[in-house]
Structure 1
Amino acid sequence: MDNQDNPGKKNISRKDFCRTAAFAAGGGLLMSSLPIGASAFAAGNDTLKLAVVGCGGRGTGAVNQALTADSGVQLVAMADAFRDRLDESYTNLSRRYGDTNQMNVPEEHKFTGFDGFRHAIDLADVVILATPPGFRPQHFEYAVDQNKHVFMEKPVATDAPGVRQVLEAGRRAQANNLNVVVGLQRHYQNNYREVFDRIDRNQIGKIQSGQVYWNSGGVWVREREPDQTEMEYQMRNWYYFNWLCGDHILEQHIHNIDVANWFIGEYPESAQGMGGRQVRTGKDHGQIYDHHFVEFTYPGGAVIASQCRHQPNTMSRVDEVFQGTKGTIHTDGSDRGIITSLHGNVLYDHDGSNDTNPYQQEHNELFASIRSGGVISDTEIGARSTLTAIMGRMATYTGQVIDWDEAMNSEEVLVPDNLSWDSTPPVQPDENGNYPVPMPGQMG
């Protein structure tokens, strides 16, 4: 593997990492001499045609934020595996935008099934990719090859081959001056940006350790319906199957892991940990764990303790704490950004009363960049934080120490090619309806 795909095994200049992080966060625009096609929307009254692929709650919310960000954006195409999900999204969006010129999705621009994404992307200038993450590499690669600007949700893959596919497509996107924003919205959140700026100015010193958390009661479960095929059931209940979701350490806890990478200025060189299923053990919970604990070790010596849990009636905590040589940081997804000295004195306490919602800010900056002829390139940070979480999953599933090279070079493919409703899913239940669960010490 080329060294550019293995930064966890070498020392990375903090200056270089921070510069990349700042640009990827929308803190700066990569300005260059743009071809005519890339700068065609500089005038604010030009229409930007938008397509959404994945019409669940996150996709619908992202469309709303895109239309709010720029009055010249028009939704022209929608795609989802399921027609009922598409119709629900269309109805909800129509309540707000149906009487405006921002929504123009005729029946022939509504696409379903596994290949509908191509037709929707073909009709747009900008695409929102919000399906289950197992499909993200294929959808992103197609969008880039069709020269589209992209907003894609995190994570960007569920396996290492998918991460490599996204990285390669991202390089083509940047070479072609395409904007790519990844939904790791803490990079667009003022409390995190303000704290990062103070880290970059060495007010905290060198980060030596930290703790990152996503502990909650869990998420929805969609029970099996009569006459569903196995493929439809897994697609409906996608959160609990690794080929579609990647486990909650990846799908959800990636936010906190990504903050550690960003603030430290490196990617981890190794991971080791433990996890399992104690509470969430039913057939409807597929094959994923309900808790993970991972220690990530970084090239500069920092060790981050990472924990996530989906167990009802237990302590809920979603935040990050870091210990530096000069002080301590405490951040969370609401508006907390506190820095204290080694003696406990408050050096910075973020006031978030006037902050823009970071989900909205992502789209504000994306469309402003498209209009101005700039380039936001989030792909690399999104892909490498995705790989960090996959590395953590590999460590908890196997009980082994996993290093960056091993994770990046993994050939384990979770998502089959050329899927259709007649395909056999890559994971099958046994005769009792139970799915295979990873067992530490029994997996390579």
Structure 2
Amino acid sequence: MRATMDKPGKAATRVDRRRFIGRSMALASAPLLVSPQDKPQTPIGASPDFSRKIKLGVVGCGGRGSWIAGLFHKHTGYQVYALADYFPEVAARCGQAVGVDTARQFSGLSGYKRLIASGVEAVALETPPYFFPEHAAAAVDAGLHVYMAKPVSSDVPGCLTIENLGRKASQKQRCFFVDYQMPTDPVNIEVVKRIHEGTMGKLDYLVTLGFTSAFEDPPRTATLESRLQKLIWVNDIAMGCDYIGNYDIHAIDVALWVARRRPVAAAGASRICRPDPHGDSRDVCSVVYEFDDGLVLNHCGEAMGNHGKVVLACQVYGGKGSAEINYWGNSFLRGGTRPYRGGEVENLYEAGAVRNIATFYENVTQGRFENTTVRRAVDGALTTILGREAGIRHARLTMDQVLKENKHLEMDLSGLKS
């Protein structure tokens, strides 16, 4: 199924996707937090007070990292104080753009350690997901606030680490925020609000769609260095969590937002379609998820260079109505007791990040340490890992099985600069 239920206001192309990503078990069994993405509390029309400057370090200064650094700089409530990237020239380019002293531009695998020790009070983590648990743990242990991209990890142990770190940050009165954009959009928020109010009746069926383009997957070199750039790492499951975990997860996160819990089982199939692959990420997948009450989620993912339309969507079907929640195009709710015509989701890639950066600022300066984004981000990553494993094995797996396996994914970092 390639088309969404409603014609989008502006067509999304494969070029959009490159812009999108290129600029882009006891604790685990606790109930899923149901709130949407935290949103700024400053009243409409009020002038925000940015007299308090948060000293920020950005770890990962490639396409999205440098773009995020620019948004933090533009906010004016932050001082982008330090940068770290494996490649020194990447850190230097970003540092020149946002005015960071060369003495606080760090490189190599351990650059993040020098950044943490440089005097920052918050970090934005924008590296490949493989490194998130290690970097986040160092930041929380150092007493820093954490702003983090998704997915939170590429494997189960990493997900459980992030969940523990979210709790630890709250205990230390520090913020830990995971950046998802779809739950920040006003139209999407209203659609989900009405669903939760019961306007559609009992929820019966969910569909999530993740259609995008492929990325270059060149031959491996003597070390991993060549795959740490130009989004080549998306092709490596351990580094990027597979396409279902790196891209499709936006739509799956919305399904969990709607369902207010994660699934208990999944069955699926997946395959590599790109010619001459050198990584192990799957280009297509079809996964059927089951929830504890019988609710079914059908997920379709595709990442190939076939000039198809870019889609990130969650379709919701209840006994009395249906709805669609989108990253691009229109979101709406039809039928039910409170239908909602909705409207276009506008400029979400940038607008969502801007909203989240504003929320992070308010959380830090106003002492809001509940860190409610962490739990659903962990559940979303675990859900994509469950689907990924079911697809690779062409089997039905339960979430309990995957948690019990607790499989750690390892990358060979030998030969890389420290």
Please report the TM-score for the alignment, with normalisation by the length of structure 1.
Answer: 0.80
Equivalent position SS for 2:238: coil
Distance 2:113 2:346 in 1: 41
Are the equivalent residues in 1 in contact too, given 2:176–2:374 (CA < 8 A)?
Answer: yes
1:65 to 68, 71, 74: 71
2:109 to 110, 114, 117: 114
Partner of 2:386: 391
Deviation at 1:85?
2.0
Deviation at 1:354?
10
Partner of 1:276: 271
Partner of 1:79: 84
Mapping of residues 143-222 of structure 1, within 5 Å: 143-218=139-214, 220-221=215-216
2:59 to 40, 50, 53: 53
Runs of 4+ in 1 over 6 A off after TM superposition: 353-356
Partner of 1:332: 326
Deviation at 1:307?
0.8
Tell which structure's C-alpha radius of gyration is larger: 1
Are the equivalent residues in 2 in contact too, given 1:6–1:404 (CA < 8 A)?
Answer: no
Partner of 2:250: 255
Deviation at 1:6?
2.3
Unaligned runs of 5+ in 2: 1-24, 42-47
Unaligned runs of 5+ in 1: 30-41, 95-102, 424-444
The answer as to 2:29 corresponding to 1:6 is: yes
- Residue type matched to 2:121 in 1? D
Deviation at 1:175?
1.4
Are the equivalent residues in 2 in contact too, given 1:126–1:148 (CA < 8 A)?
Answer: yes
Equivalent position SS for 1:409: helix
Aligned length: 381
1:299 to 292, 295, 300: 292
Mapping of residues 115-130 of structure 1, within 5 Å: 115-122=110-117, 123-130=119-126
Q: 1:335 to 1:367 in 2, by over 3 A?
A: farther
Distance 1:347 1:76 in 2: 44
Partner of 1:436: none
Are the equivalent residues in 2 in contact too, given 1:266–1:299 (CA < 8 A)?
Answer: no
Distance 1:422 1:354 in 2: 38
The answer as to 2:302 corresponding to 1:289 is: no
Deviation at 1:352?
5.1
Distance 2:81 2:219 in 1: 33
Spell out, residue by residue over 1:33-68, the C-alpha distance to the aligned partner (whole angstroms, 9 max, x if none).
xxxxxxxxx974232101000011111122122223
Partner of 2:13: none
Mapping of residues 314-353 of structure 1, within 5 Å: 315-316=308-309, 317-334=311-328, 336-341=330-335, 347-350=340-343
Q: Identity percentage over the alignment?
A: 24
Distance 2:65 2:324 in 1: 30
Distance 2:238 2:302 in 1: 20
Equivalent position SS for 1:288: coil
Spell out, residue by residue over 1:315-352, the C-alpha distance to the aligned partner (whole angstroms, 9 max, x if none).
42331211012210111113522100169x95332365
Distance 1:313 1:354 in 2: 24
